[in-house]
Amino acid sequence: MVVRSVEVSFHVKLREYTTIGIGGAADRMAFPRSPAQVREVVLAEGAAGREVRVLGAGSNLLVADGGVSATVLCTRKHLSKVVFLSDETVVVEAGVMLPRLAVLCALSGLSGMEPLSGIPGTVGGALSMNAGAYGQSIGERVEWVEVVDPGGEIHRIEARAIRFGYREAEYPVRGIVVRAGFRFVPGTRETVFEQMRQMNERRRSRQPWGERTFGSTFRNPREGKEKAAQLLERAGMKGEREGDACFSVKHANFLVNQGCATAADVRRLMSRGQSAVRVSCGVLLVPEVKMWGEFDV
């Protein structure tokens, strides 16, 4: 690493940084403390000809057993500032966890984060893929997003210039999300906390809770009424396993690591799920989970 002021570790086991607890090592991991340090890392690694990948909470990520030959820029550790301004506007760094932001908003009497309060990802990860729940997504709440492009330039992009779709976001400038501004609405603490409690209770009753998973494995198909979980269940994949990887018996689209599953086990199980759904329902399921590294299947 060329930038001396930035904290860095070498040969970092990515399984310790993903919610499913799987994955080989990254060559280097950088932990920037500010958007300016993100810029420095991007510039230095670019000059050294090294690939840079960005990691939030690793809650929608499958890393190959062989790891990745790249510098992984971890936002979660230090990019964690939240600033409340006077007009219901909140400025948030990319590594802030959505549940933490939701609680801070509730304590400040602001409503709007409740549906996102149970998603175990960072603001940057959520903005890169328009995370959402209960019919609302983060793209509907954000006012602007700051992105560091591959040349190290910081751009402030107004939300209207970003195309937010179902679990995807298309930015006019490709790069790393470093900070965003949100506008919430006034609410009462008690009502906001109660909303969050109800939504998270509903989540706990329908999804595996406290298990190692990366959330939804496949996107819900555009055509037809059935969701990916229903299709997998109809195809007999609920509870199916490869090694310690298993489609949850509580929610078939959540793939869980029940012990020492490898990324290869997960990929094999995903591929079996896709084949079973294609044969029995005529639908091709597309992965929602992001994959890093080399896979055989």
Ligand X SMILES: Cc1cc2nc3c(=O)[nH]c(=O)nc-3n(C[C@H](O)[C@H](O)[C@H](O)COP(=O)(O)OP(=O)(O)OC[C@H]3O[C@@H](n4cnc5c(N)ncnc54)[C@H](O)[C@@H]3O)c2cc1C
Bridge partners of 255?
247
Name the residue type at position 36. Answer: A
Which of 214, 233, 270, 283 forms a contact with ligand X (CB under 6 A)?
214
Number of residues that bind ligand X (CB under 6 A): 31
What residues are labeled active site?
A: 167, 216, 288
Q: Is 199 in the site for ligand X (CB under 6 A)?
A: no
Q: Is 24 in the site for ligand X (CB under 6 A)?
A: no
Bridge partners of 163?
170
Query: Taking the alpha carbons of 40, 46, 47, 48 in that order, is the dihedral positive or negative?
Result: positive
Site for ligand X in 149-168 (CB under 6 A): 167
Q: Is 131 in the site for ligand X (CB under 6 A)?
A: yes
Residue whose CB is less far from ligand X, 17 or 184? 17
Residue whose CB is less far from ligand X, 214 or 218? 214
Q: Is 35 in the site for ligand X (CB under 6 A)?
A: no
Q: Give DSSP secondary structure letters for 11-57.
A: EEEGGGGSTT----EEEEEEE-SSHHHHHHHHHHHHHTT--EEEESS
Which ranges of 153-221 would DSSP assign to H, the alpha helix? 189-206
Rounded CA-CA distance 118/81 in Å is 20
Rounded CA-CA distance 236/254 in Å is 14
* Beta-carbon count within 10 A of 165 CB: 11
Q: Which residue in the shown chain puts its C-beta closest to ligand X?
A: 56
Name the residue type at position 78. Answer: H
Which of 54, 63, 245, 252 forms a contact with ligand X (CB under 6 A)?
54
Rounded CA-CA distance 258/176 in Å is 32
Site for ligand X in 217-276 (CB under 6 A): none
Beta carbon of residue 87, minimum distance to ligand X (angstroms, whole number): 25
Rounded CA-CA distance 179/240 in Å is 40
Which of 62, 106, 110, 119 forms a contact with ligand X (CB under 6 A)?
119
Which of 41, 177, 192, 196 forms a contact with ligand X (CB under 6 A)?
177
Q: Is 132 in the site for ligand X (CB under 6 A)?
A: yes
Bridge partners of 165?
168
Which of 25, 42, 61, 192 forms a contact with ligand X (CB under 6 A)?
61
Which of 21, 23, 35, 124 forms a contact with ligand X (CB under 6 A)?
124
90 within 8 A of 76, measured Cβ to Cβ? no
Q: Is 102 in the site for ligand X (CB under 6 A)?
A: no
Name the residue type at position 23. Answer: G
Q: Is 19 in the site for ligand X (CB under 6 A)?
A: yes
Which of 133, 154, 173, 281 forms a contact with ligand X (CB under 6 A)?
133
Interface residue list for ligand X (CB under 6 A): 19, 53-61, 75, 94, 119-122, 124-126, 128-129, 131-133, 167, 176-177, 213-215, 290
